[in-house]
Every structure is written in structure tokens, then in C-alpha cells.
């Protein structure tokens, strides 16, 4: 294919995605919907011209892995651990862990019953559907109150991290409960200790590097350590989380003067630039991942009754298990927060990471796309209704 055509297509996709992002923010609609639909439309166009995209199955997991690291890092760089935030952090930690666990058990039980499959496959397949996507949730709640938006930032970011850690621990355990506990416990502890050591090294590197190029080497050093951790069956997302939290909460180093002394005078400026690169990198990777995910989807998958049955079960269990948890943790905000449980990039990445031999037989591939699209639509409708009620209430108060 002509290189100019590839450059033209690449540029057009990025500009279109940016336009989608602006449009969706004004319409209070998650941009993932337009990205997926654009990918599906492109697939129909390519099919009519008898064109194809080579290496699609190889590119998607790579983009997904990079996107996973960027999303967790972006989430960690948003988390402030001030003393006055401790009650909020505690509530959101309980919400993310318990919410994930309840959804996981409920969806796994449903899959076990629907497909008569073993519990190992049921839990592994349910895991991607139990994770709240921070990549979809955070941009969609900017119109809510500051307290509600902050709850969503913490809850969805922690849900991403917990979900990924549990999924890979389940994958390594192959259904063995003792090995799973060991994977979450011992492996998690080893990963945390190594993560702290490497985080300290990356922190020093960020403060010591000079010249015009300094942020990309840091990110790719992080990617290198993440990949090595995966090769040794550790939990390298702990490293990503620790690094992001440390950069955004340097007061954690107050007791480590030997490390704090490496902090340069330009650290705050460097951190702001690094955050911007992470945000824009996540936007770029997320754009191409969702468009290619939509492109890889066959419309015939949406016509299967099984796909709609599984999707309906997953959606029902997602909100049924979420309601009592929010009722207990934040009863005043249950209505707006109930619908903020979108599935997105992490759901797709984890599902694609599932080995073929651990797939549930006859599981409908269209269910993944349907769950992502419908949870995004439900989120949009929920946020719009809350904002509309708020606007109506404001109007009643200001009327003479």
C-alpha cells in the first residue's frame, strides 16, 4: 500500500477521534461508542472493496497492553493521597474491591449455569466483565459534582488495577485456589517490593535526565520493566501503580531523605509534562485500539440470540450487585453513581488475553462489544438524567 495513503489514514483517524472527543463531551456521550461504530463502519467499507488489514490479530494485543499500562499510570497520576482524602480512598477501595468481587462471582455463576462450563473458565471469562473502565468512566463524569466525579476517579482507577491483578493471578493458577491465593499474596508481595525498588530508580532517573528527550525514555523503561515482570509471572502493574502514586505524592518520600534529595528544582514542571504525555499517549492508543476492535467485529455476531442473552445477564448482574454496595457506602449519591459502571478497554484487553484453550465453548464473541457499547450508553443516559434534574432544580430555585 502507498505510504502516503497510510499516513493520510493515520492522520485522519487521529483528527476524527479528537473531533469525536469534543463532540462527545458536549453531548455527554462516551467517545468509545463513536470509535467502535467507526471501526464497524470501516469494516463494512473494506469488505465491499474486498480489502483487509494485515496483522490485525497481532496488533490488537500489543496496543491493548500499551493501553493497559497507560491507563493504570494515568489513573495513578490522578490519585492524591492527602490525609483529608483517606475516608474517600477507603470508601472507594471497598467499593472497587467488593464491587469487583460481587460482580465476578455473580457473572461467573451465570456463565457456569448458561454454558455448563467448569468454574475455572467461568471465573476467567467473567473477570473482564467485572472491571469498571476508568478510560470510559472518568471523562464521562466531568459534568457531575466534584465529590461524585472524585469518587468515580478513585473507584474506577482502583477497579482497573484490582481486576487486572486478579485476572492474571487466576490465569496463572489454572483454577487452583491455593495457587491463586499464593499468586495474589506472595507474588503480589514480591512484585510490590521489586516495584518499590524500580520505582525509586525511575524516580531518580526522571530527576537526573537532562536534554530535550527525557519523558519517553522513562515511559519505555517502565514498559521494559512491565514486560520483564510478565515474563517472570509477577504482577508488574503494581510497579506502574507505585510509580504513578509516588510521582503524584512525593510527600511519601519525606522519611527517605537519601531519595528525596534527588528531586530536582524543575520536578513539578517535569511532572506536568510527563502527565500530559501519558494523557495524550493514552488517547492515541485508546483511539486506535477501539477502532481496530470495532473493525475486527463481524456484524453477524450481534445477530446471535446467545450474545444478547449473555449481555442481558451481565448487565443485570452488574447493576444488581452494585446497588446494595453503593447503598451502604454512599446512600446520598446512589442514583448518579449506580449507572457509572462502564466496561471498556480493559474488558476487551483481558478477554483477548484469555488463551484459546480456556475459552468457554460457544461463548458469543459479540457479547464483549455489546456489553461495552450498552454500558457506555447506560452511563451516558444516567449522567444526562442527573444533570437534567440538577438544571431543573437550579431553574426552580432561581425563578422569581
User: What is the DSSP annotation of 342-376?
Assistant: ---HHHHHHHHHS-GGGSPTT--THHHHHHHHHHH
> Residue 397's pLDDT is what?
34
- The residue assigned the cell 472497587 is 96
Please report, for the chain, the start and end positions of each structural domain, with discontinuous segments joined by +.
3-49+56-398
Report yes or no: 226 and 239 within 8 Å, Cβ to Cβ. yes
User: What is the DSSP annotation of 170-210?
Assistant: HHHHTT-HHHHHHIIIIIHHHHHHHHHHHHHHHHHHHHH--
- The residue assigned the cell 447493576 is 319
| Distance, CA of 150 to CA of 87 (rounded, Å) | 12
Report yes or no: 66 and 285 within 8 Å, Cβ to Cβ. yes
> Residue 292's pLDDT is what?
92
> Residue 395's pLDDT is what?
37
CA atoms within 13 A on the CB side of 252: 16
Residue 11's CB: how many other CB atoms inside 10 A?
A: 10
Sign of torsion over alpha carbons 206, 209, 213, 216: negative
Instruction: List the chain pLDDT tens, one digit each, 400 residues.
Output: 678 888 898 899 999 999 988 888 887 788 888 999 999 999 998 888 888 888 888 888 889 889 888 887 887 887 777 777 778 888 888 999 999 999 999 999 999 999 999 999 999 999 999 999 887 887 777 777 778 888 888 888 888 878 888 888 888 787 677 777 776 777 777 777 887 888 888 888 888 887 778 888 888 988 998 888 888 777 787 788 888 888 888 877 777 777 777 778 888 888 888 999 998 998 999 899 999 999 998 888 888 899 999 999 999 999 999 999 988 887 666 777 888 999 988 899 899 889 889 999 999 989 999 999 999 999 988 888 776 665 444 334 334 3
- Residue 50's region, left for phi above 0, alpha for psi from -120 to 50, else beta, is left
Class of domain 3-49+56-398: mainly alpha
- Record the pTM: 0.85
| Distance, CA of 219 to CA of 267 (rounded, Å) | 16
**What does the block give as the cell for 87?**
475516608
Whole-number Cα distances in Å, 56 to 35, 281, 294 = 17, 20, 11
Residues with Cβ within 8 Å of 104's Cβ and at least 6 positions away in sequence, in order, are 123, 126, 127, 130, 166
Amino acid at each position: 500500500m502507498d505510504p502516503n495513503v497510510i499516513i493520510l489514514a493515520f492522520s485522519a483517524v487521529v483528527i476524527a477521534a479528537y473531533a469525536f472527543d469534543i463532540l462527545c463531551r458536549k453531548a455527554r456521550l462516551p467517545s468509545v461508542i463513536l470509535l467502535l461504530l467507526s471501526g464497524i463502519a470501516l469494516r463494512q467499507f473494506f469488505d465491499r472493496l474486498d480489502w483487509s488489514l494485515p496483522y490485525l490479530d497481532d496488533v490488537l494485543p500489543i496496543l491493548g497492553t500499551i493501553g493497559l499500562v497507560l491507563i493504570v499510570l494515568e489513573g495513578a497520576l490522578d490519585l492524591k493521597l492527602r490525609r483529608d482524602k483517606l475516608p474517600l480512598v477507603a470508601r472507594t477501595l471497598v467499593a472497587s474491591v467488593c464491587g469487583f468481587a460481587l460482580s465476578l462471582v455473580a457473572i461467573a455463576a451465570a456463565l457456569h449455569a448458561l454454558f455448563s462450563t467448569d468454574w475455572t473458565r467461568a471465573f476467567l471469562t467473567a473477570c473482564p466483565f467485572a472491571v469498571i473502565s476508568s478510560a470510559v468512566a472518568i471523562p464521562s463524569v466531568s459534568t457531575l459534582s466534584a465529590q461524585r466525579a472524585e469518587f468515580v476517579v478513585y473507584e474506577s482507577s482502583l477497579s482497573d488495577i484490582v481486576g487486572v491483578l486478579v485476572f492474571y493471578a487466576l490465569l496463572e493458577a489454572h483454577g487452583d485456589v491455593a495457587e491463586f491465593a499464593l499468586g495474589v499474596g506472595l507474588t503480589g508481595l514480591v512484585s510490590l517490593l521489586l516495584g518499590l525498588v524500580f520505582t525509586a530508580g525511575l524516580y531518580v532517573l526522571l530527576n537526573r535526565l537532562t536534554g530535550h528527550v527525557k519523558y519517553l525514555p522513562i515511559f519505555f523503561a517502565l514498559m521494559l520493566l512491565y514486560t520483564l515482570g510478565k515474563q517472570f509471572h509477577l504482577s508488574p502493574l503494581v510497579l506502574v501503580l507505585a510509580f504513578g502514586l509516588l510521582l503524584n505524592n512525593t510527600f511519601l518520600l519525606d522519611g527517605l531523605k537519601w531519595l528525596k534529595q534527588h528531586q530536582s528544582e524543575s520536578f513539578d514542571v517535569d511532572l506536568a509534562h510527563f502527565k500530559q504525555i501519558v494523557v495524550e499517549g493514552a488517547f492515541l492508543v485508546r483511539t486506535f485500539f477501539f477502532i481496530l476492535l470495532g473493525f475486527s467485529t463481524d456484524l453477524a455476531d450481534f445477530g446471535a440470540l446467545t450474545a444478547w442473552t449473555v449481555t442481558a445477564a451481565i448487565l443485570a448482574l452488574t447493576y444488581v450487585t452494585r446497588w446494595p454496595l453503593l447503598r451502604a457506602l454512599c446512600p446520598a449519591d446512589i442514583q448518579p453513581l449506580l449507572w457509572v459502571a462502564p466496561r471498556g478497554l480493559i474488558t476487551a484487553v483481558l478477554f483477548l488475553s484469555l488463551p484459546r484453550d480456556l475459552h468457554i465453548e460457544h461463548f458469543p464473541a459479540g457479547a464483549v462489544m455489546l456489553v461495552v457499547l450498552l454500558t457506555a450508553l447506560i452511563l451516558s443516559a444516567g449522567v444526562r438524567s442527573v444533570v437534567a434534574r440538577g438544571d431543573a432544580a437550579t431553574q426552580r430555585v432561581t425563578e422569581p
